Amino acid sequence: MTQFYHKPVLLQEAVAHLISGPGVYIDATLGGGGHSFQILKRLEETGQLASSLLIGIDKDKAAIQAAFERLKGFGKHVLLVEAGFAELETVVRSAQFDGAPVGRIKGVLFDLGVSSHQIDRAERGFSFQKQGPLDMRMSVSAILSAREVINEYDEADLARVFFEYGEERHSRHIAKKIVEERRRKPIETTGELAEVIRKYTPGRNPVDQTKTLARVFQAVRIEVNGELAELSAALKKSYEMLESGGRIVVISYHSLEDRVVKTFFKENSEDDWGPKGVPLTEPLRRATMKLVTKKPLLPSEEETADNTRARSAKMRVAEKV
């Protein structure tokens, strides 16, 4: 089996909220197939697998290969595609089950962020704790990498990336120092970038340095992979493809992702009464979703103790009406 490991977060909670009957389910962030395996297993145990299909997608070829080995026992009820989740519509339109187009979707699961496997592979360049090339591409076939962002973006664009995607308050200062350092020598590795950030983090407190490192690396990763724009597009397409009663389940790991999800669910789960002060007898648009979770579900203390990655996880669920 391909060596790909990733411990799924909020596994039982996600599957319980996702499945509402037989149909087509999408695991939009396949990873090693942990959530997908549990979805298929639950469908099988409840006698619903015969008329169900799980479509798993991921940008990472290694994830697809590992998930295939894990899920191949479910035969025709699994379709795995190497793609980004913004390509959901294309994937679904081209998919078939028992010789017929799949039609509407019963549920979509997003487990956002970077897998444990990707973080732990130094050559992927995601972690400031491991020496590796500045890469950070979810798909190794993508053109833009962290090296181009750090060495070719101008100072203003770097500051924007650090502030918008990392919420880093020292974004301008760090961007300025990175530009100064790269004039002497290109910044080629995660270790070199981390050293520049440590060197110029105001205060130089080790705890502050670590937090700044995490924010800057997150920001560069989001920029490289276009994560927030892709998430927004994928949520919209997922909603359009859902059947009535179908659900979207999203597990996010930082405030920017969660804000995108929360805003999308809120906008679609409330009636639109137009501008304030304009009297209307009926809303301009009726709510087309309902919130299944009024507040995000959080992992248990037991789960966070067993899996540190789960500490920042939040799960939101909405249903199409």
Domain boundaries, the chain: 11-111+227-320, 122-225
**What pLDDT is stored for residue 1 in this prediction?**
42
- In 3-state terms, what secondary structure has residue 79? strand
**What pLDDT is stored for residue 2 in this prediction?**
43
Reported pTM: 0.91
Dist CA 10 CA 318 (whole Å): 16
**Encoded tokens for 314:** 């939040």
**What pLDDT is stored for residue 5 in this prediction?**
56
Q: Which residues contact 177 (CB under 8 A, 6 or more apart)?
A: 196, 199, 200
| The domains spanning 11-111+227-320 and 122-225 adopt the same CATH topology | no
Q: Looking up tokens 């090339």, which residue turns up?
A: 133
One digit per residue, the tens of pLDDT, for the chain of length 321 reads 445 556 899 999 999 999 999 999 999 999 889 999 999 999 999 999 999 999 999 988 888 999 999 999 999 999 999 998 879 999 999 999 999 999 999 999 999 977 777 777 888 899 999 999 999 998 888 899 999 999 999 999 999 999 999 999 999 999 999 999 999 999 999 999 999 999 998 777 888 899 999 999 999 999 999 999 999 999 999 999 999 999 999 999 999 999 999 999 999 999 988 888 778 878 888 999 999 999 999 999 999 999 988 999 999 999 999
8-state DSSP, 271: -
> Could you tell me which of 179, 180, 259, 164 has the C-alpha nearest to residue 215?
164
The sign one gets for the Cα dihedral 71, 72, 77, 78 is: positive
168 CB burial (10 A radius; 0-12, 13-18, 19+): buried
How do strand 105-111 and strand 289-291 relate by DSSP bridges? unpaired
Could you tell me if 318 and 249 are in contact, meaning their C-beta atoms sit under 8 angstroms apart? no
Could you tell me if 268 and 239 are in contact, meaning their C-beta atoms sit under 8 angstroms apart? yes
Summarize pLDDT for 22-61 with one digit per residue, the tens.
Answer: 999 999 999 889 999 999 999 999 999 999 999 999 988 8
CATH architecture of the domain formed by 11-111+227-320:
3-Layer(aba) Sandwich (3.40)
Task: Provide the CA 293 distance to its chain's centre, in angstroms.
Answer: 19
What CATH class is the domain 122-225?
mainly alpha
Could you tell me if 209 and 201 are in contact, meaning their C-beta atoms sit under 8 angstroms apart? yes
